[in-house]
Amino acid sequence: MTPAQIAGAPAQQGHSTELRAAAQHLGAGLERRRFLTVTGAAAALAFAVNLPTAGTASADELDARQLPEDPFTLGVGSGDPLPDSVLLWTRLAPRPYEPGSGMPAARVRVRWEIARDERFSRVVRRGWTTAHPEFAHSVHVDVGGLDSDRVFHYRFRAGDWISPAGRTRTAPAPGAANSSLSIAAVSCQAYHDGYFTAYKHLAEEDVDVVFHLGDYLYEYAVNATGGARAYTDRTLPAHFNRETVDLEDYRMRYALYKSDPDLRAAHAAHPFVVTWDDHETENNYAGGTPENDVPPEEFLLRRAAAYRAYWENQPLRTPQRPTGPDMRLYRRLKFGRLAQFDILDTRQYRSNQAYGDGWKVPGPESEDPSRTMTGAEQERWLIDGWRTSRARWNVVPQQVVFAQRRDVPTDAFKLSMDSWDGYPASRQRILNGAEAAGVDNLMVLTGDVHVGYGLDLKKDFDDPSSRTVGTEIVATSVSSGKDGAEKPANWSNLTQANPHLKFYNGRRGYALVTLGTREARADFRTVSAVTTPGAPVSTAASFVTEAGNPGLNPV
């Protein structure tokens, strides 16, 4: 293909008529709360029309030397570190704001290499892979045969173009007596609400791995000036000023987010372990139930598009690649004898929110024991994993607030139906499972609410004197909610109503957690503003929890 043909390659537009008909057939006659539980062959067939699950050899191959512009505009990333391997990611997008990202409908060969040093004088692995147009020319390389608990540097090459270099680290070996692990927790980065300044600072932190707890992007429209960013030196294309619905919408929205230099810097500096919440698809969807009253097949199409774009744009392995509207995102990572991480998905399998969602008085509907946040299979997987865990710390990175959170210090309190408060029986099964498995050091990592919380997990939240069984660290948003405030308007009500709430701050930022053999330390890092770039970072508060003696203690 010539450069002119490359630049003028057509992009996929919307959902095809065949795909829409297949989705309508699959969704027909199924109860709305259940139709998306159809998995396996039926879903695969429905979405094989123009969303293949593997790159096809029938596509033309482009000589990468014909690429007229830098294809590595979205940077690089790594993720899901294992003791002997790590996943490397990039996506070819010379024109990231255009449909198709300026790439042709052709395969492109990409060279990769990973080295012990940042000068790449000691390369330990190298190879070739193919960027397929069916997957938006994303690249996912699972590099094996690496030494455990070691820093590596990596990069890609397409033709004469060389990507920025990234830094990553493998996990400690199974059974390793590692004495310290430093992690970061981030969530909720609405592009239109402000700059990703938190990522600029996170890129400079000395951490082993970053956990992203959801809302990596938002489906809402972004205007020409970038919303609260209020650009004066650029104008964003008009197609960003609409809600994401189809595959090309989601792909371009990821390109917008990943064009942010601070986000790219954080991905290049540290391996990420990602999970989604709702906004990667649609606000507050619950399993197969959309937020708004739309036909089931329409939401089926949207969920499939959103899940596919998510995998394409994240450092995830092949087992996480979606099949139509289904994607196995929950998974387990172990870091020696110090930590086991059970990463949850609390969106895809949950029951619909009780009482129409929002903050409501709890009652029989929300307290129905059949309701689930995780689905039965994921719940069993989590508890079974605890039974065999030998880790000092069992950490659960997930999406929504786990601890009880009353809105007022009176008997007329309300609870959030979208959080675990709307699924109390499901929460109690998890806590009972941890106790039965002998989990002494339970820590939950959470995002979603655009504030930082430090919470004790109680055996009985209705009895403040009951035993503390774990801790919850809620990472504030990177930018969602704009600048925020140190003490939000409901600070007094929440702190009085919830004696197990040990910390509450409404600024933007992230959380750092250092796990050790004797204690875990949490540092709540905040930036003073996100509506203007370059704000400094500071530590709002620090807490420790002792191994074998759960509960947050201020430092």
Q: pLDDT by residue (tens digit) across 163-192?
A: 999 999 999 999 999 999 999 999 999 999
CA distance 476 to 526: 8
Model confidence pLDDT, tens digit, residues 203-247: 999 999 999 999 999 999 999 999 999 999 999 999 999 999 999
Q: Is the pLDDT of residue 48 over 50?
A: no
pLDDT of 296 reads: 84
pLDDT of 278 reads: 99
- Report the run of H or E that residue 308 belongs to, with start and end: helix 296-312
Give the CA count within 13 Å in the CB-facing half-sphere of 343: 22
Pair 525, 538: CB distance under 8 Å: yes
- The fraction of the chain above a pLDDT of 90, given in percent, is 88
Secondary structure class of 509 (helix, strand, coil)? strand
Mean pLDDT for all residues in the chain: 92
Q: Comparing C-alpha atoms, which of 169, 144, 145, 167 is closest to residue 155?
A: 167
Tokens 């003696």, located at residue: 549
Q: Is the pLDDT of residue 437 over 60?
A: yes
Q: Who contacts 175 (Cβ-Cβ below 8 Å, separation ≥6)?
A: 336, 337
- At residue 508 the predicted structure's pLDDT band, cuts being 50, 70 and 90, is very high
Phi, psi angle pair for 361, to nearest 5°: -70, 125
Tokens of 445: 């990592």
Q: Which amino acid is at 140?
A: H
Q: Who contacts 413 (Cβ-Cβ below 8 Å, separation ≥6)?
A: 361, 406, 407, 497
CA distance 401 to 495: 15
Q: Which phi-psi region, left, alpha or beta, contains residue 355 (left: φ > 0; alpha: ψ -120 to 50)?
A: left
- At residue 29 the predicted structure's pLDDT band, cuts being 50, 70 and 90, is very low
Q: Is the pLDDT of residue 41 over 70?
A: no
* Mean per-residue pLDDT, 285-313: 95
Pair 169, 326: CB distance under 8 Å: no
Beta bridge partners of 115: 123, 153
pLDDT of 16 reads: 52
Pair 80, 333: CB distance under 8 Å: yes
pLDDT of 297 reads: 87
Domains and CATH numbers, the chain: 3-167 (2.60.40.380), 181-276+329-554 (3.60.21.70)
Tokens of 147: 């030494």
The region of weakest confidence among 6-10, 18-22, 70-74 is 6-10
Q: How far apart are the first and last CA of the chain?
A: 62
The region of weakest confidence among 58-67, 247-256, 435-444 is 58-67
Q: Who contacts 329 (Cβ-Cβ below 8 Å, separation ≥6)?
A: 275, 276, 320, 343, 345, 348
Phi, psi angle pair for 103, to nearest 5°: -105, 150
Q: Is the pLDDT of residue 503 over 50?
A: yes
Strands 209-212, 272-274: pairing kind: parallel
* Mean per-residue pLDDT, 57-66: 82
* Mean per-residue pLDDT, 386-408: 99
pLDDT of 55 reads: 45
Q: Is the dihedral of CA 431, 432, 437, 440 positive or negative?
A: positive
pLDDT of 59 reads: 72
230-235: long-range contacts, CB 8 A cutoff, minimum separation 24: 230/531
Q: Is the pLDDT of residue 353 over 60?
A: yes
Q: Is the pLDDT of residue 540 over 90?
A: yes
* Mean per-residue pLDDT, 462-479: 98
**Burial class of 283 by CB neighbour count within 10 A (0 to 12, 13 to 18, 19+):** middle
Model confidence pLDDT, tens digit, residues 95-108: 999 999 999 999 99
What's the full length of the chain, in residues? 555
* Mean per-residue pLDDT, 456-462: 97
Q: Is the pLDDT of residue 255 over 90?
A: yes
Pair 215, 188: CB distance under 8 Å: yes
Q: Is the pLDDT of residue 33 over 80?
A: no
Q: Is the pLDDT of residue 374 over 50?
A: yes
Q: Which amino acid is at 313?
A: N
pLDDT of 95 reads: 97
Per residue in 51-67, is it b (16+ CB within 10 Å) or e — as a string?
A: beeeeeeebeebebeeb
Per the model's pLDDT, the better-predicted residue between 19 and 185 turns out to be: 185
Q: Who contacts 10 (Cβ-Cβ below 8 Å, separation ≥6)?
A: 100, 105
**What's 32's DSSP letter?**
T
The region of weakest confidence among 54-68, 129-143, 415-429, 512-526 is 54-68
Model confidence pLDDT, tens digit, residues 113-123: 999 999 999 99
Q: Which amino acid is at 12?
A: Q
Pair 78, 166: CB distance under 8 Å: yes
- At residue 15 the predicted structure's pLDDT band, cuts being 50, 70 and 90, is low
Q: Who contacts 327 (Cβ-Cβ below 8 Å, separation ≥6)?
A: 307, 310, 311, 320, 321, 348
The region of weakest confidence among 2-6, 150-154, 345-349, 491-495 is 2-6
Q: pTM of the full predicted structure?
A: 0.93
Pair 301, 15: CB distance under 8 Å: yes
Q: Is the pLDDT of residue 259 over 50?
A: yes
pLDDT of 14 reads: 55
pLDDT of 282 reads: 98
Model confidence pLDDT, tens digit, residues 401-435: 999 999 999 999 999 999 999 999 999 999 999 99
CA distance 171 to 181: 10
